[in-house]
Structure 1
């Protein structure tokens, strides 16, 4: 152990050689050095592609143009393009990607399964169903109405899955199976709602259901981003019981963790982290499923949510930029890109699990 300043900061090799920084001031913290490095690299890469995202588009801009617009020194046209049109999209992709990734990490930790994500379990389908009911049944296209519908639908679905999966506790495998069944039912319900509605309204709802950041404004993005940031803070506060439950129920109970209450709170945080971005941009697959696993392989540990959030931000922003540039003169919804990549990743996960079972 090497103390930089006695009683304040210590760096020690513990936990099988991993190095930690200990802060023993007002708040006692133990920070994994590898997590800091991985998070810093991912954030640096995210900032780099964010700058690129502010530069590309119908009007091509230079780095100096972007920096001038952000500092308020550019012309009115360039400032409008960068600050009013492109910046909300970039920031929304970063924050929503982080929220989706942490949502997936929570569920994968609770179920102890890499397939335990809102995409698979059905929370995203519940949010989509709630939004569809608002759009198609109540004939409302207001942002507040759609957001409320997505949030209520996601929470209702989560509670239903939790109740159906509860039997002397909530086991991860049972939660996944029940979630897949509920997700299938909701997908059928969504199809019925679309088929029985007017073609114009159904087209609008179906387009929203693909998941897109196209045309997003500050008025749409800010409420969702604030909600996700608050929920990320809540997830950080609940990280200790989350990691304790990864060790098993007996170990968690021995550390004074109330398992059922912690599970319910964490599931609610997860579903709200899914519902808030879904309310703004529609259901976006792949990020919640893949980001935690990719971050885990880079970090070699699941004890920190920071690398997972950074990976989610990088993946969603990168996918959105690919969606804008994949076909010249055509901007695709980001959900098309993430769904394609997510399908490939899901096949790879299933293949690996099948091989390990042999």
Structure 2
């Protein structure tokens, strides 16, 4: 029996794939050795069964084998992103967080794409602010030195996905790749905030991050169904530190964040998304958006800065936002 058929047989009876077999299947899919019909069946089999952490980790590891990886970077590096798919049409919170982190002296390697389920994707946002969208792997270090921030446009780093794209489009449903996307950063960050669209994904994706070698991470699902921390109610969070995972619920009000409503962070399209992003970077605009950024920025600072509690991280974040620290730091690009 061919191995990819063995995979399909196991998935058909609801069995998780062992690591070796999952690795084989994903590698065959990325290299084109697996027939297109089997690729569709494989993805639907995983979705129907429910993907395991081992299977997702195998998908990530083998995808990175085919990626254009960035080398030569040292020290702590952080990414802030979500899996998308929460269909909330909210503003670009993770992009604002990334730019504030850079303004505060941290090195940010933001991996992303154009809009899929949001009003304005991270690629659309950073392009509108004047950052280069296409940065080649050998130019990443210089761009990072210039701004503490570099955007890594996913299609430029994952050529193997062009082969799979048409099959995903034909399937027409969310698949494992929607979960994998944020884990495929070609610069291999040491720290990451990963937002997921449902609470059931929180622990699962924390286990995947541990299996793929991340040092420090937070997997979050916020109140209101968001793939970010939100000021609308308690959030589910799993913390990862050097292989150890701790899960808890966090109430923003205990961190000094007042309650807001989900409708206050919704944007109607790209133009509005860019406008409100510039407002938040300048410390102005909608209080709900500023507080949402503060929550997620505080979480990132808690991960990055030893001895800084989560509450202290949020307080530091609120101070940076009140000063408009990001717009001041990026004055050469943020008004483009």
State the TM-score, normalizing by the size of structure 1: 0.23
Greater RCO, CA 8 A, separation 6+? 1
**Going by fraction, where is strand more abundant, 1 or 2?**
2
**Going by fraction, where is helix more abundant, 1 or 2?**
1
Bigger-Rg structure (1/2): 1
